[in-house]
Amino acid sequence: MSLYQKIKEKFYLLVSDDDIWSSNVNVVNVRPLTPQEVIGNPARDDFPLLKGKEVMIQAEFRGSFGQAFTDMPGNFNGTLRDVFQLPLNSNFQRAVFIASINAVLRHLDYISHTIHCKDQEPAECALHFKNYIQEKFGQPRIAFIGLQPAIVESLSTICRIRVVDLDKDNIGLRKNGLLIEDVSNTQQIISWSDMIIATGTTAVNNTLSSLVGKKPIIFYGVTISGIAYLMNYHLYCFCSH
């Protein structure tokens, strides 16, 4: 059974007695957001969202919102049943599926943090993340999956970190003295590490299953909030809304 099928089954168990599946009024609306809508005006300009490498899409369900990062944005309008019938063969379909899960689980009060932080909050999150890792894990060797520059910079002051990223423009560059490596090095870096910190966008780009179960893992970012709840993954997203 695929990971996404397991996610669907766990979701079904939560909503099997609810009327949300087929009612004509239960429409999931998904649309891309502008960078300013998502992250506002942070102090630094090197977040992938501001570079145009990724787009945040937002699903609305009964007045509740869920978000997901993707490199394949688009619009979608349909019932929740329509969402769950998507084949999940592309980053766009997986993003619609994941944003919709986030919106529905928020509507049902299973989760509460599904909206990206803004303005100065990404920097605040990075500081809290460093303090959290230091308190819980000391100074571990970290395999960091998916460059988040503020968190990487903060953690690099206390930990040994190796970073992999999908953005070809980042590969081979040094950020705060750290070499950004190609994703082909991921498994070797995980073997080297004590723990993994990974972007929740791995759920969208179909790399999530290659990470879980290898080492202790913490996800960051609102994209994976619903899946983290369903699958009991460790999520740290201090400043989300």
Q: For the chain, list the domains and their CATH numbers.
A: 3-107 (no CATH), 121-235 (3.40.50.11590)
Nearest to 224, CA basis, from 123, 125, 95? 95
What mean pLDDT do residues 108-132 have? 85
Q: Is the pLDDT of residue 170 over 50?
A: yes
Confidence of residue 23 (pLDDT cuts 50, 70, 90): very low
Residue 236 neighbours by CB under 8 Å, 6+ apart = 129, 132, 218, 219, 220
Return the C-alpha torsion angle 144, 148, 154, 159, nearest 10. 10
Scanning the structure block, which residue is given the tokens 């179909």? 206
CA distance 78 to 90: 18
Nearest to 57, CA basis, from 87, 18, 93, 81? 93
Contact 100, 79 (CB under 8 A): no
Q: Is the pLDDT of residue 22 over 70?
A: no
Q: Is the pLDDT of residue 38 over 70?
A: no
Indicate the angle between helix axes 3-15 and 91-107, nearest 10 degrees. 30
Beta strand segments in the chain, E = 27-32, 55-61, 64-70, 76-79, 141-145, 160-165, 174-175, 178-182, 195-199, 217-220, 234-235
CA distance 231 to 29: 25
Q: Is the pLDDT of residue 16 over 50?
A: yes
Q: Is the pLDDT of residue 210 over 50?
A: yes
Looking at residue 241, what is its pLDDT? 79
Range scoring the smallest mean pLDDT among 66-80, 109-123, 196-210: 109-123
Q: How many CB atoms lie within 10 A of CB 188?
A: 13
Return the C-alpha torsion angle 130, 132, 138, 140, nearest 10. -60
Q: Find the largest Cα–Cα distance for the chain.
A: 54
Q: Any bridge partners for residue 76, and if so which?
A: 30
